[in-house]
Structure 1
C-alpha cells in the first residue's frame, strides 16, 4: 500500500517502501531526488506531546548549536527536517518526520562488529577502522553533550558507520533536550546497552550524560574487541547466564574481575587493549565514568600511526604497538578469525613478527 505524508505547510511526499522498524516507529523510503526517509510512529504514548517534540526539533535545526552538529561531511545526524502526518487509507493521523537517509553515506553500525558482516560489507576494515569508529563515536557524543542533548537510547541499531570509521546517528526523536525552558525527556533504553542505574528503573526514568557515557564505553569495547560485549560470559560461580543486563547489575565483567565470568577460548584476550584504554574501561564500569570527551582524547592518542602495528603474516591484522605480537593471528590459530586474511607481506610470513607503520 502506497502511503502519502503531508507536512504542516501542505507539502506532500510519497513513501515507496518499508525499509525498517524499531520499538516505536517504522521507516519508509521517500520518493524524492534527495536521500530522504520518513519515520512514522503509530502509537506514541502522548500524540500531542510527540508532535510538539518533533516541531521543536525541526525548529532547532536552524539554531547555531544544531548547525554546528550538522556541518560535518558526511552529515553525522539524521536530524528531523519536517514533521509529517500520514495520509491514505488506514493511515490517517499517524505522525512522524522526514530525515536524511543515512544509507546514502553510511552502513549499519553492526557491520563493523562481527567478522561475517565485516567480510561481506567492509572487507577492508581493520582494527584501525574500529579504533577510528570508536573515536568518531566518542567525539560525536561529546559534541551532543556539549550542546545539551542526551541520547538515552545509544545502541548499534541507532548508529551508522562508513568505510573510514566515521559514525552517524539516527532516532533523534527519542533524545532528551530542553527547548525554551521546556524539558523533553528521553525514556527509551535497550537491553545490553543501558546503564545499571536505569536497568529496572520505573518507566519514564530520564537518562543523563553519565548513562550515555556508560553505554559509550560498552560500544567502544565492542568495536575494539571484535564485537565482544564487556559484560559477556557465564557466571563463573556456575549459575545460569541470564542476560548482559543481569551481568551488569552483578558486576560480572572480565575487566573488573577476571574470575567473575567464563568466556570461550575464541574470545579476544583482554590484553589486546592498550593500557590507557583498559584503565578507562575499568573506570567506566566500576568507578567514576570518563566523559565522552575523555574517551575521545584517549582514542585519538591510540589512533596515532606510531601507536599501531601491522602483522607481517596478514596485512589486515592491525593492533596496538604495546603488544609484542599479533593477537589476531593467535585467535585465527584457535579457529576464531576476527579479521579476514589480507595479502602476505613481501617480507615473509614469519610468525608473530611486527613492523612499525
Structure 2
C-alpha cells in the first residue's frame, strides 16, 4: 500500500481545503494510505472525518494568526521529521506560495512522487508586492529542483502558471463535486413568499466581490420586495451591513456565516450569484450547478470555461451593477429559462466536474514515479 501525504495550510472551510479532504477521504483504500499535514491549527473541516479513520491528520500547530512562523526553524524541522517518519511514496501539496519554503525540507528523503496542485489564478501570482515576487521565484525553483508535477484546476490557472512560473507542461485536473450529495432532489418546486431566494457561497475576500452583489440588491427590491439574499461564508464586513440598512434591504439580506450544511441552503434557493474578480475554479459554483441552480456570474475567463461560455448561466460584465440587477430580475421572471439553465448546469458538472473523475485522475498520478 502506497502512503500519500497531502500538505495544506489548514482545514478551514474553503474550496481548496474541501478538495484536499475529499481526495484524501475517497481514494482507493486498497491501494493508498492517506495523511494530511496542516501548517495552521485551524481545522473545522475535521468534523467531516468524525467516526472514521480513513485519513490521518497531523497539524504543525502554528496558530492561525501567526505571521512569522516562516522564520521558525522548529516548524521546518517538525515538518521534515513528520514526513520522514511517515515515509510516503507521494507528497501532494496544495495552495502554496510562502508554504513552498517548507517543501525544500524534503530534499534527501527519497520521496518518489511529488505533486503540487495550484488552486488559484490570483493571490501572490497577481501581486506586485516585493515579497510576492520572492515567493514566486522560490516556488518556481522548488518545483523544478524537486521535480514536482504541477496540477492546475482550470485552463485559466494553467495559463497563469505558464506565464508566472514559466513551467510549460502543467497538467489540468478539474475539481470535482459529489453528484449524489449536491443534487437537485430537495429543490423548491413553487414560488414562495420570499421570491426569489438568491444564494452566494464564499469567504468575504476582496476577490469574491461582495460589494457589487450587495449594490445590485436595492433595484431588485423594487420588483421583488420580499426577495431574500443569503451570503454563506466567514468574515462579513460591518460596512456591508451598514449599506444594507441605509438602503432599506437589511431585512432581505441574511449573513449566515460558516455552515456545514451548504446543500440545505442551495435547495432552498432559486438563483445562485457569483461576481468574483478572479477565481481558480470556484468549487461553490460547481456545487450550485450540480443542484441545478441557474446562476448569474461575472464574465471572468474561468466562469466562461466552467459554464461553456454561459450555456447554463447569465453572464454580466464585471462591476456593472445594473447588469447584475437586470439579470436576476429577468431570470426570476422566467421559470422556464431557470429550469433549462439549471438542467444544463447539472449536465456540465456530470460530464466534466464530478468528484469521481477528479479522484480517478489523482489516483493515476499517485501511482506514478516522477
TM-score range normalised by the length of the shorter chain? under 0.3
TM-score by length of 2: 0.26
TM-score by length of 1: 0.26
Bigger relative contact order, structure 1 or 2 (CA pairs below 8 A, ≥6 apart): 2
